[in-house]
Amino acid sequence: MEILKLKPVCKDYLWGGRKLVQFYNKESDLDKVAETWELSNHKDGSSIIINAPYENVSFQNYLNNKGKEIWGTHCEKYDNFPILIKFIDAKQALSIQVHPDDEYALKNEGEFGKNEFWYVLEAEPNAFLYYGVNQEMTKEEYRQHIEDDTICDYLKKVEVKKGDCFYIQAGTIHAIGAGIVIAEIQQCSNSTYRVYDFKRLGVDGKPRELHVDKAVDVSKLIPSGKNGNADGELIHNDGYDELLLTKNDYFICTKYDVLSSMKKEVTLESFQALTILDGEGKIIVDDKEMYIKKGDSLFIPAQEGGYQIEGSVSFIQTRL
């Protein structure tokens, strides 16, 4: 039975900070570490395996060499590995943006769309994000609000705290505000349409590109009424707690807080990705042990078997 530990790709977008290096055990010489692509097979950056026997092999090459069987039977409909997992440190606010759905993205971008899930790891006092619109509007009104710099007045502003979570359905206008660190689980897509960027300049001294026409095409302009809540209720088990965070058409995320020990099965139905949020401990498979700590990311191929985690550690398990 295999378990892989992954090294992420680091992205130095201008709004990023250094919290992922300081507090989540990431290694990077970049001045800003805005995102770490923890589990990624995307063409814009593949994570790297760091444990034997695949040490220094890219996750992309590993998946290509092993074949689709290790994704699991629930992934049979996909041609490309379907999930991308990130940590995000927003020292400054991100741009107002929106993602297309599968149909639009496949037609216009050559890849799947982007439905995503956010779990808030840290939030400074009064930190907030934008999550959908606060009133219904037409496409013409939407475009006008972008052009006259009033679009933020028409977005749903949500103050957040550690533990809040949001399923961002494709077409939902959104933005992470300053002072927030999140774990993001998403479709393996990088299709993002920038709606509004607060007139910021890029590293080249010019305003960053907007994608208003495409954003107008795909944005949902009716309030959804959803808030930052998990889909399930907290369940107390012997040695650990579990909470279903989201179960949607694209992935299932469950948060586990191991207090002493827990055992979990792996099946042929789906891979499992473990994103370590806090604490430390060890994962045990057969007679082998692997030390795990805050910030680590693990990939477990679809297979028949099981593993045990011991220690005091919190993590998100992602599967299909």
Tell me which of 218, 248, 265 is where a domain ends. 218
**Residues 125 and 265 both lie in one domain:** no
Two structure tokens written together for 130? 């934008």
Task: Please name the residues in contact with 289: beta carbons below 8 A apart, sequence gap of 6 or more.
Answer: 282, 283
Report yes or no on 275 lying in a domain.
yes
Tell me which of 218, 249, 280 is where a domain ends. 218
Three-state DSSP state, 10:
strand
CATH code of residue 293: 2.60.120.10
Report yes or no on 248 lying in a domain.
yes
Q: How far apart are CA 279 and CA 262, in angstroms?
A: 15
Q: How far apart are CA 311 and CA 294, in angstroms?
A: 12
Q: How far apart are CA 289 and CA 283, in angstroms?
A: 6
Q: Which domain holds residue 142?
A: 4-218
**Residues 47 and 109 both lie in one domain:** yes
**Residues 102 and 249 both lie in one domain:** no
Contact present, 252 and 231 (Cβ < 8 Å): no
User: Structurally, how many domains does the chain consist of?
Assistant: 2
Question: How confident is the model at residue 80, as a pLDDT?
Answer: 92
Three-state DSSP state, 217:
helix
Three-state DSSP state, 143:
helix
Report yes or no on 223 lying in a domain.
no
Tokens 């005091």 -> residue: 312
**Residues 125 and 258 both lie in one domain:** no
What letter represents residue 71's amino acid? W
Question: How confident is the model at residue 224, as a pLDDT?
Answer: 84
**Residues 270 and 149 both lie in one domain:** no
Report yes or no on 54 lying in a domain.
yes
User: How many angstroms separate the most distant Cα atoms in the chain?
Assistant: 63
Report yes or no on 227 lying in a domain.
no
Two structure tokens written together for 74? 């629930």
Question: How confident is the model at residue 228, as a pLDDT?
Answer: 75
Task: Please name the residues in contact with 260: beta carbons below 8 A apart, sequence gap of 6 or more.
Answer: 239, 240, 310, 312
**Residues 28 and 86 both lie in one domain:** yes
Q: How far apart are CA 221 and CA 141, in angstroms?
A: 10
Report yes or no on 230 lying in a domain.
no
Cα radius of gyration (the chain): 20
Q: How far apart are CA 158 and CA 302, in angstroms?
A: 37
- How many CB atoms sit inside 10 A of residue 4's CB? 21
Report yes or no on 186 lying in a domain.
yes
- The catalytic position among 143, 194, 200, 319 is 194
Q: Residue-wise over 12-38: b if at least 16 C-beta within 10 A, else e?
A: ebebbbbbbbeebebebeeebbbbbbb
**Residues 161 and 192 both lie in one domain:** yes
**Residues 209 and 245 both lie in one domain:** no
Three-state DSSP state, 303:
coil
Report field, pTM of the whole predicted structure over 0.85: yes
**Residues 29 and 128 both lie in one domain:** yes
Question: How confident is the model at residue 229, as a pLDDT?
Answer: 83
Given CA atoms 20, 26, 29, 30 in this order, what sign does their dihedral have?
negative
**Residues 283 and 147 both lie in one domain:** no
**Residues 193 and 114 both lie in one domain:** yes
- How many CB atoms sit inside 10 A of residue 217's CB? 15
Q: What region, left, alpha or beta, does residue 198 occupy, with left being phi > 0 and alpha being psi -120 to 50 degrees?
A: left
Question: How confident is the model at residue 264, as a pLDDT?
Answer: 96
Q: How far apart are CA 176 and CA 188, in angstroms?
A: 19
pLDDT in tens, the chain (320 residues): 889 999 999 999 999 999 999 999 999 999 999 999 999 999 999 999 999 999 999 999 999 999 999 999 999 999 999 999 999 999 999 999 999 999 999 999 999 999 999 999 999 999 999 999 999 999 999 999 999 999 999 999 999 999 999 999 999 999 999 999 999 999 999 999 999 999 998 888 999 999 999 999 999 999 987 777 899 999 999 999 999 999 999 999 999 999 999 999 999 999 999 999 999 999 999 889 999 999 999 999 999 999 999 999 999 999 99
Q: How far apart are CA 251 and CA 318, in angstroms?
A: 7
**Residues 47 and 164 both lie in one domain:** yes
- How many CB atoms sit inside 10 A of residue 244's CB? 15
Residues 160, 162, 167, 168: what is their CA dihedral angle, to the nearest 10 degrees? 50
Tell me which of 152, 186, 218 is where a domain ends. 218
Report yes or no on 264 lying in a domain.
yes
Q: What region, left, alpha or beta, does residue 311 occupy, with left being phi > 0 and alpha being psi -120 to 50 degrees?
A: left
Active site includes 200? Answer: no
